[in-house]
Amino acid sequence: MTQRLTYAMIGGGIGAFIGEVHRRAISLDDRARLVAGALSSTPEKSKLSAEQLGLDPDRSYGSYHELFERESKRDDRVDFVSIVTPNDTHYPIAKMALEYGFHVVLDKPATHTSEQALELTDLAERQGLVCCVTYNYTGYPMVRQARAMIESGELGNVRKVYAEYHQGWLANDLEASGQKQAAWRVDPKRAGLGGALGDIGTHAENLIAFVTGLEIRSLQAELNSFVPGRALDDDASVMMRFANGAHGVLTASQICIGEGNGLALRIHGDKGSVWWRQESPDELRVAMLDENPVTYTRGGPGLHEDASISARIPQGHPEGYLEAFGNIYRGAIDAIIAKRDGADPSRMAQLIPSIEDGERGVRFVERCVESAKKNAQIDWA
Amino acid sequence: MTQRLTYAMIGGGIGAFIGEVHRRAISLDDRARLVAGALSSTPEKSKLSAEQLGLDPDRSYGSYHELFERESKRDDRVDFVSIVTPNDTHYPIAKMALEYGFHVVLDKPATHTSEQALELTDLAERQGLVCCVTYNYTGYPMVRQARAMIESGELGNVRKVYAEYHQGWLANDLEASGQKQAAWRVDPKRAGLGGALGDIGTHAENLIAFVTGLEIRSLQAELNSFVPGRALDDDASVMMRFANGAHGVLTASQICIGEGNGLALRIHGDKGSVWWRQESPDELRVAMLDENPVTYTRGGPGLHEDASISARIPQGHPEGYLEAFGNIYRGAIDAIIAKRDGADPSRMAQLIPSIEDGERGVRFVERCVESAKKNAQIDWA
Amino acid sequence: MTQRLTYAMIGGGIGAFIGEVHRRAISLDDRARLVAGALSSTPEKSKLSAEQLGLDPDRSYGSYHELFERESKRDDRVDFVSIVTPNDTHYPIAKMALEYGFHVVLDKPATHTSEQALELTDLAERQGLVCCVTYNYTGYPMVRQARAMIESGELGNVRKVYAEYHQGWLANDLEASGQKQAAWRVDPKRAGLGGALGDIGTHAENLIAFVTGLEIRSLQAELNSFVPGRALDDDASVMMRFANGAHGVLTASQICIGEGNGLALRIHGDKGSVWWRQESPDELRVAMLDENPVTYTRGGPGLHEDASISARIPQGHPEGYLEAFGNIYRGAIDAIIAKRDGADPSRMAQLIPSIEDGERGVRFVERCVESAKKNAQIDWA
Amino acid sequence: MTQRLTYAMIGGGIGAFIGEVHRRAISLDDRARLVAGALSSTPEKSKLSAEQLGLDPDRSYGSYHELFERESKRDDRVDFVSIVTPNDTHYPIAKMALEYGFHVVLDKPATHTSEQALELTDLAERQGLVCCVTYNYTGYPMVRQARAMIESGELGNVRKVYAEYHQGWLANDLEASGQKQAAWRVDPKRAGLGGALGDIGTHAENLIAFVTGLEIRSLQAELNSFVPGRALDDDASVMMRFANGAHGVLTASQICIGEGNGLALRIHGDKGSVWWRQESPDELRVAMLDENPVTYTRGGPGLHEDASISARIPQGHPEGYLEAFGNIYRGAIDAIIAKRDGADPSRMAQLIPSIEDGERGVRFVERCVESAKKNAQIDWA
């Protein structure tokens, strides 16, 4: 019988964007049920949100402290918690969750500092708990296909990587209008060191690491704040050297009018290349030396297992963002069950981004900001 | 508080493709919970499927007769039934469901004959029940945008319509291998009069009707069975004249190697045109006379309300097939609640395909088959 | 030494569109020099045009009669004539050119009636002269690649062909404004029996024949004149049965707002398929059964010789309409030299459209018009 | 009457790629005739080439020295010379041409050092002669449209520029095979300081300057030689700061397997953005703040004059590389006629790249190489 877990959500109340995304992503596969929550920063909003989501009022808590304390005493305590609060609160909440013995799924970025993330890494390790970070784009089947092709050596040694994440929605001072999503992203207290760099550049960094497995050795970053009055970057460009001799260029910008979620990856090995664009996620263009380019598609022929198991419906019927996000949760749920049962994790479980990935993402932001300030190349370690 | 309904599924047991699609589409919005079922043709498989889906064994029934009889006596009887059995059984099941007073969501094609569909139409009307058919492609937000643009007159009078649905998976005799999806589709007993025509051509017909509102006055069809041994068409071409003087060309084929689900619509009015392709569903290309073409996108600027309310996530994060399918269920659930409460149906509810649409689809197949046999133009009515 | 021929042009004076296209197409390869002409319908305009084009005033003639008579007496008489006059004058001019012993390159459509074209065919045969028709789209390298793939059996038996040529520039009554290009095309006296059908539908017909080699056995056409006041069709739809059992759908329309020169071809065999679009002519999409689709490109790997010899510059640097047109002239010049020298024609020469192709195009229009009038299926022969 | 000039070509003999491109580009408009040449490095090959090209043997010279000396004494001396020799000989040949009073069209890169280019700039100025450099991509109509939109302020202040030129043909050591085009490009003596940087990076640099008018203030470059044994870069990445505060990222690489001539430009202003790709040159994607993106096309509505006058055929019939190259020559010929006649240069003449542009391109390579060596940011001036 398929196992259904239960979970609690911290954050994600009425009007929150990413919380609803997490819930839909989980619902899609119907393998975990939301049964508890500390959904908003105020008790009133929390209660209202809980009602809308059909939670038992008993399990709608006023704060995460209360949630952990009371849930941990229940026989039917939730199996895991999903943390979708603003960035600045990730660390204390995740820490407490782990301390109380709950598996954690953490929205990205993991924490404000890489030290905090390292601490969570150690804590999860000691507690024997799953602590993963929803770098959701790694859930796309064709991203996993690209990864598998590189891992298997089909593209040869990777030489050059282009990763970009371009958006246009912060091209003017949307934050002045009080738009909620814009407001916290441009506020260093809530967003952390990085603006575009942290918000979307880390997705690009994560995708490079996930797909290529390359390790950054040094980097040079240039950051801009084009919209007057912004304390954080709204545009970032980074050149990177990897341990294997490969070179990378990563750009992340939120002032590119006309771009929606222009996350794209191009990887060139000495035997072949792949191209992937988030806005057409079901396709992977592949070119081998001296051959015509081939278009692989989700559900199509010739895929690695990692891509095949990550699809739900046949070729030609599009899957999208929620399905990819759902794959992170499928893996997380598998991982949690495996931990609980002392079993080997499934392949889906092995593919999910860990808190170590989260730590690397935060470090990436720190290194880029340092490089940009010094206007100099910076070593990674 | 958001209302959650309960539903039963007829068909859709282990290994069934479309049943799982329906369940995922419903789960996405978490507004209805599967609590009962007659999931397979044999009691053993039904039981196993029910177990996997976490149904209460008491509500896993051995047959749809049993389901309707016993559910109808419960205080907590299901709000609606979702019928996802092979085509040839739609009619008796839907009829009994309606007779027992259950709202019905019926997989397409509605029935085997247009007479059966008319009977269901009348029955649903008399019983005051919702009976809708999952022509799921009408759930795509940009299809609804196209519809709204035509309804509002932006494209002027429609002159020419090109609709196509091309697949390649039946290019050879896959049915000989025993592949389940192929086997029933090429079997007249189970599939009905139409092969490609019924299976996918009806989706194209439905899309034309939904988007343009045009009524077919006459048509001329040519059908082919390219793969030796097939009793039904695997390729259909239809020219149509509409009541307003417009002309249409519809092609549906399952022998187009390299096509996945190549459903596409092009509509040319005397003021402007729109282009839509199911495999890139988030985009609608629009060209007005003497102007450069504009690309509208789901979540982007300038959309009609019907498109806006049909999206879940922002522009640039792809939505796909399941989300569109989910929109049919959002509308169906709204419609059922409105019926129950005697309230006006929501906009989402108004947009769903009815059993009348289902009847027109079956009639379309009948007319095409007649035209092809006579090798002559046939009047619609 | 590369041979340079000389030619005369009939028509193509100041302001004529297609004459300039022919001259540029010839110039591109610099293998023939314009030295004589009867460029316009009036002596004054002819003289002015000749001056602009740098012709020797002695060889600027007042009429085509004069041109043939006087050129035929010169020692350095032109090697061939290029006829780019309005459709209705093609036949008498080409006939006289052949009678005077000149090779002929004729703009399409060859003639007004298929009988005229047959007569030219016979005459050219008797005279031992080249008489070819500029169905220019056959000059695209990737069209030739598609042809070679089918000829070599790579796609297996062709089952289904979709050809379309959609334009939008006649969506309203442009002819009312006196626009020259529009005016003659909607005038039966000058354009012949077909409107969109003759003007662009014949290009689609020719492309099918060139690429697949299939012969039409019967057809059913529906023609529309959407813009009020038009005597000829501005929209045509044709279903065709071929001698080998294949089926085709051809649509040609000039009322599709937003379409420029949307000529496209899709061919589905029982082993594989190809897709080609004139507006991205350097690419040919190819899909073989159960394999991922491959994109062949002009200048890229794996091409047949017919495609390779038809390209001038390397992969990734686009070639376009003029280059394709130039390929027709490269072949025509090769053919003329071979005729003159009694040598075997080069491969380029073998690929050019003949007056027989022209005859078939005119017959196609005649058959379609007959079918549309009778509202019935018509046999080809 | 349209004026026809005469020209001589230095280099471009049998088997030379770029010489033939220049000749075809000129032929397309038939406004200049090749009448003299020093076509190859050896007299025999020169003679053979001259014969093939139909030159008068008297005007086929054994060396450029001879050509300039003897042509300069003829009454019918050529109007200009086109220099298409290997990079290392550009400077002495162009210098002598200008000294002898010939207008010069110079293949890019102008010279080996920026000092040489400055010297040619001064010399051309003093002699009152045209000296232009064939940065041919500026000839594309839609590149000119992008330029005009920025110049007119439609996109607002430019903030971010992404330019890239990616090729794959040097992904392995093709030079080892003796392939001529590869061999000189990887040889510092013949190619100069830059490999991919000089060969194609300069095209990207030129495109930025042409389209945006921005001036580089500082830059940071990283160069790689991925293929073992290469003395020059085969991969270059550059971050740039412009005088107006804008930021740019330019990448040029010849090891990107699967890329043909992937030259692309994306420009983001504070009012709008444009996207252009050389491999689909007839399209320009334009997005204005809070509006849906619009696709402008060559020959389509709403174009600036600079784009309109640069097209030869209507919308939907593709133009390509040779047509764009031809536009440089159209402008050069206009400029030469205007110089000769003391008239104002036409708009086409004003748009051509000058030797100043050539100088900036060479300086760009010098600065990037210096930055890469120092691993530091370098000021432009």
Q: How far is B306 from chain D (nearest CA, A)?
A: 18
Quickly list DSSP for D105-119. Answer: EEPSS--SSHHHHHH
Q: What is the pLDDT averaged over residues B298-322?
A: 97
- Mean of the pLDDT values across residues C48-58? 93
Least confident among A25-39, A349-363, C70-84, D38-52: D38-52
Across the interface, do B292 and D291 touch by the CB < 8 Å criterion?
A: no
Return the structure tokens found at C308.
């390779």
| pLDDT computed for residue D2 by the predictor | 63
Determine the average pLDDT of the residues in C277-302: 98
Q: Contacts of residue B262 in chain C, CB cutoff 8 Å?
A: none
Q: What is the mean pLDDT of residues A352-376?
A: 97
Chains that contact A by 3+ CB pairs under 8 Å?
B, C, D
The pLDDT tens digits for B38-67 are: 999 888 888 899 999 999 999 999 999 999
What's the pLDDT tens digit per position in B74-99? Answer: 999 999 999 999 889 999 999 999 99
Set of chain B residues whose Cβ sits within 8 Å of the Cβ of A321: 313, 317-319
**Which residues in chain A are closer than 8 Å to B314, comparing Cβ atoms?**
17, 260-261
Size of interface C-D (CB pairs under 8 A): 112
How far is residue C367's CA from residue A93's CA, in Å, rounded to a whole number?
A: 78
Average pLDDT over residues B183-189: 87
Enter the tokens of residue D113. Answer: 């050092």
Per-residue pLDDT at B359? 96
Average pLDDT of the residues of chain B: 96
| Cβ-nearest to D316 among C4, C279, C313 | C279
In this prediction, residue B57 carries a pLDDT of: 94
> CB distance D260–C27 less than 8 Å?
no
Residue C358 has pLDDT above 80, yes or no: yes
Task: Give me the mean pLDDT over the C165-185 stretch.
Answer: 91
- State the pLDDT at residue B178: 84
Reply yes or no on whether the pLDDT at B106 is more than 80.
Answer: yes
C158 CB-near residues (< 8 Å, 6+ apart)? C150, C212, C214, C242, C244, C246, C267, C268, C269
pLDDT, residue C192, reads 87
Which residues does D contribute to its contact with A (CB < 8 Å)?
159-160, 162, 168, 171-172, 220, 222, 224, 226, 235, 237, 239, 241, 247, 249, 251, 253, 255-259, 266, 268-273, 275, 285-289, 293, 375-377
Question: A with B: how many residue pairs have Cβ under 8 Å apart?
Answer: 112
Which of B51, B299, B323 minimises the CB distance to A322?
B323
Would you call A322 and B319 a contact, using CB atoms and an 8 Å cutoff? yes
- The closest CB to that of C294, out of A294, A297, A300, belongs to A294
Q: Do C312 and D322 touch (CB under 8 A)?
A: yes
Contact B318, A281 (CB under 8 A): yes
- pTM of the model as a whole: 0.97
pLDDT at D171: 97
pLDDT digits (tens, 9 = 90+) for C315-332: 999 999 999 999 999 999
Distance set, CA A167 to CA A136, A231, A321, D177 (Å): 17, 18, 16, 44
Residue C112: strand, helix, or coil = coil
Q: Which chain A residue is nearest to residue B299, measuring alpha carbons?
A: A260
Give the C-alpha separation, B365 to C339, whole Å. 57
pLDDT at B15: 81
The C-alpha of A33 sits at a distance from chain D's nearest C-alpha, in angstroms, of 38
What's the mean pLDDT in D316-340? 97
Check pLDDT > 80 for residue D1: no
Is the per-residue pLDDT at B2 higher than 70? no
Q: Is the pLDDT of residue B192 over 80?
A: yes
Q: How far apart are CA A8 and CA B350, in angstroms?
A: 35
Chain D touching partners, 3 or more CB pairs below 8 A: A, B, C
Cβ-defined contact of A256 to D222 (cutoff 8 Å): no
A34-45: burial string, b at 16+ Cβ within 10 Å, e else: bbbbbbbeeeee
Which of D257, D286, D287 lies at the smallest CB-CB distance from A273?
D257
- C287·B258 Cβ contact <8 A: yes
Q: Do C260 and D315 touch (CB under 8 A)?
A: yes
Q: Is the pLDDT of residue C1 over 60?
A: no
> Strand pairing of B272-277 and B283-288?
antiparallel
One-letter amino acid at C4 equals: R
A279 and B21: CB-CB below 8 Å?
no
Asked if residue C109 has a cis previous peptide bond (ω within 30° of 0), the answer is: yes
pLDDT category, A179, cuts 50, 70, 90?
confident
- Chain A residues with a Cβ under 8 Å from any Cβ in chain D: 159-160, 162, 168, 171-172, 220, 222, 224, 226, 235, 237, 239, 241, 247, 249, 251, 253, 255-259, 266, 268-273, 275, 285-289, 293, 375-377
Contact criterion met (CB < 8 Å) for C301 and A292: yes
CB contact under 8 A, D257 and A220: no
**Which chain A residue lies closest to C298 (C-alpha atoms)?**
A292
Q: Among A174-178, B259-263, C321-325, whose mean pLDDT is lowest?
A: A174-178
Is residue B1 predicted with pLDDT exceeding 80? no
Mutate to test the interface with A, among B321, B327, B329 (most CBs of A within 10 A): B321
Average pLDDT score over residue span D276-286: 98
The pLDDT score that the predictor gives to residue D183 is 86
pLDDT of residue D180: 82
ipTM score of the complex?
0.96
pLDDT of residue B276 exceeding 90: yes
Q: What percent of chain B has pLDDT over 70?
A: 99
Asked whether B269 and B159 are in contact (CB, 8 A), the reply is yes
pLDDT at position D3, please? Answer: 74
Percentage of chain D modeled with pLDDT above 70: 99
Rounded (5°) CA angle B108-B109-B111:
125
Reply yes or no on whether the pLDDT at A1 is more than 60: no
Whether A295 and C297 lie within 8 Å, measured CB to CB: no
User: Which of these, D166, D318, B9, B224, lies nearest to C262 by C-alpha position?
Assistant: D318
Looking at residue A2, its pLDDT comes to 64
The DSSP 8-state label assigned to residue D343 in this structure reads: P
- Quick check: B130 and B103 in contact, CB under 8 A? yes
D296 neighbourhood in chain B, CB within 8 Å: 292
Radius of gyration from C-alpha coordinates of chain B: 20
Decide if pLDDT at C186 tops 70. Answer: yes
What average pLDDT does the segment B199-206 reach? 98
CB contact under 8 A, D279 and C1: no
Indicate yes or no: CB of B260 within 8 angstroms of CB of A297.
Answer: yes
For the stretch D150-173, pLDDT in tens is 999 999 999 999 999 999 999 999
Helix and strand totals (H; E) in chain C = 14, 14
- Residues A208-266 pLDDT 10s: 999 999 999 999 999 999 999 999 999 999 999 999 999 999 999 999 999 999 999 99
Give the pLDDT mean for B309-322.
Answer: 97
Model confidence at C127: pLDDT above 90: yes
Give the residue, A368 or B182, on which the prediction is more confident: A368
CA distances for A126 relative to A101, A112, A129, A131, angstroms: 11, 22, 8, 11
Average pLDDT over residues A312-341: 97
How far is it, in rounded angstroms, from Cα B362 to Cα A19?
Answer: 43
Which has more pLDDT, A187 or A196?
A196
User: What are the b/e assignments for D160-182, b being 16+ CB within 10 Å?
Assistant: bbbbbbbbbbbbbebbeeeeeeb
Burial class from Cβ neighbours inside 10 Å (0-12, 13-18, 19+) for residue D240 reads buried
Determine contact, residues B8/B78, Cβ cutoff 8 Å: yes
Q: Which residues of C touch B257 (CB under 8 A)?
A: 268-269, 271-273, 287-289
pLDDT at D43: 83
Nearest to D294 among B290, B294, B301 (CB): B294
CA–CA gap between residue C316 and residue A292 (Å, rounded):
13
pLDDT of residue B16: 85
Counting residues of chain A whose pLDDT is more than 90, the rounded percentage is: 89
- Out of B220, B235, B375, whose CB is closest to C160? B235
Mean predicted lDDT score pLDDT of chain C: 96
Against chain C, the chains showing at least 3 CB pairs within 8 Å are A, B, D
